[in-house]
C-alpha cells in the first residue's frame, strides 16, 4: 500500500519548504524581508540610487526591477545610503546621487557627512532661487507650527526662533543665504549671533560669494526680496 505524500509549503523567495502553512507564514528569510521593506522611504531612495547608478555608471539600457535590486550584491549598501539620506533630510536626493556618481565617489563612502557637506556647499551656490526660497519657507512654517511662542507664525522665525536651531537649519541647507541676506529679519538675526554661532555657519553663508551672486543676478535678488517683504520677514 502506497503512503500518501505529505503536502509541503514552499517559500517563493528562498525556496525553503515547510510541513505547515503557519510555519511558512511565520518564516522570514532575507529575500522575503527585503520584499516587505520595499515601500519604506529609505529603501525607495536606495532603489532610486541603484537605478541611477546603472544608468550613469554601467551604461545599462535595460530597466532594472525591484527584484533585480533586492537580489543585487549592492542592495545593503544602497539601502544604507537611502536611509542615511532620509535621516539627514537630504535637500536634493537626485542631485546628490548624481554628484557622487559623476565624481566617482566610492559607494562605501556615500554615507559620510563630509561628502554630503562638500556636495551641499556647491549645490546651495548653484540651485535655483525658487527652490531655495520654497525650502526655506517650508522649514520656517514647520518650525512655527511646533513653536507656539512665535505669535505671528513663521514671520517671527528669525526674530524669536531659537538661535542655535536656526544655525542648524543653515548648516543643513534648510535655510539659504538667498533668504538670510535678503530679508530684514534675517540680516538682524546675523547681527545678533555670538562669535561661536557665526563661526559655525560662516562656511555656509560666505558673504563675499553671496554679495557677488546678488550683483550678478539682480532680477532674482529683487524678486526674492519682494516675496520675503510680503511674507513679513
pLDDT digits (tens, 9 = 90+) for 70-97: 888 898 899 999 999 999 999 999 999 9
Which of 181, 92, 103, 102 is CA-nearest to residue 131?
A: 92
Residue 232 zone, left/alpha/beta (φ > 0; ψ -120 to 50; rest) = left
Looking at residue 101, what is its pLDDT? 92
The helix (run of H) or strand (run of E) holding residue 18 is strand 17-18
pTM score, whole prediction: 0.79
Helices and strands in the chain: count of H runs, count of E runs: 15, 2
**pLDDT tens sequence across 151-176:** 788 888 988 888 999 999 999 999 99
- Judge whether 214 and 221 are in contact, CB under 8 Å: yes
Burial-class residue 180 by CB neighbours within 10 Å (0-12, 13-18, 19+): buried
Which of 225, 144, 141 is CA-nearest to residue 178?
A: 225
At 212, list the grid cell: 557677488
Looking at residue 1, what is its pLDDT? 40
Domain boundaries, the chain: 7-31, 37-124, 127-230
Instruction: Give the pLDDT band of residue 182 (cuts 50, 70, 90).
Output: very high
**pLDDT tens sequence across 4-15:** 456 765 665 655
The two most distant CA atoms of the chain are separated, in Å, by 95
- Judge whether 233 and 186 are in contact, CB under 8 Å: yes
- Range of lowest pLDDT (57-61, 182-186, 194-198): 57-61
Q: 54-61: long-range contacts (C-beta < 8 A, 24 or more apart)? A: 56/98, 56/101, 56/102, 57/101
Instruction: Give the pLDDT band of residue 18 (cuts 50, 70, 90).
Output: low
Q: How far apart are CA 216 and CA 76, in angstroms?
A: 44
DSSP, res 10: E
Amino acid at each position: 500500500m502506497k503512503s500518501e505524500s505529505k503536502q509541503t509549503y514552499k517559500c517563493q523567495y528562498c525556496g525553503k519548504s515547510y510541513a505547515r502553512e503557519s510555519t511558512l507564514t511565520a518564516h522570514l528569510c532575507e529575500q522575503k524581508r527585503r520584499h516587505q521593506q520595499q515601500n519604506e522611504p529609505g529603501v525607495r531612495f536606495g532603489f532610486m540610487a541603484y537605478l541611477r547608478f546603472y544608468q550613469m555608471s554601467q551604461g545599462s539600457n535595460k530597466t532594472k526591477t525591484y527584484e533585480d535590486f533586492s537580489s543585487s550584491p549592492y542592495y545593503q549598501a544602497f539601502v544604507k545610503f537611502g536611509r542615511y539620506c532620509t535621516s539627514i533630510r537630504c535637500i536634493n536626493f537626485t542631485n546628490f546621487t548624481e554628484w557622487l556618481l559623476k565624481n566617482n565617489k566610492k559607494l562605501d563612502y556615500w554615507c559620510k557627512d563630509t561628502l554630503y557637506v562638500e556636495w551641499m556647499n556647491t549645490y546651495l551656490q548653484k540651485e535655483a532661487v525658487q527652490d531655495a526660497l520654497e525650502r526655506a519657507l517650508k522649514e520656517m512654517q514647520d518650525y512655527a507650527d511646533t513653536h507656539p511662542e512665535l505669535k505671528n507664525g513663521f514671520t517671527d522665525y528669525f526674530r524669536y526662533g531659537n538661535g542655535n536651531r536656526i544655525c542648524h537649519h543653515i548648516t543643513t541647507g534648510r535655510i539659504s543665504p538667498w533668504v538670510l541676506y535678503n530679508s530684514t529679519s534675517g540680516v538682524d538675526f546675523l547681527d545678533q549671533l555670538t562669535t561661536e554661532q557665526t563661526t559655525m555657519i560662516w562656511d555656509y553663508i560666505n558673504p563675499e560669494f553671496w554679495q557677488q551672486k546678488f550683483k550678478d543676478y539682480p532680477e532674482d535678488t529683487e524678486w526674492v526680496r519682494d516675496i520675503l517683504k510680503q511674507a513679513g520677514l
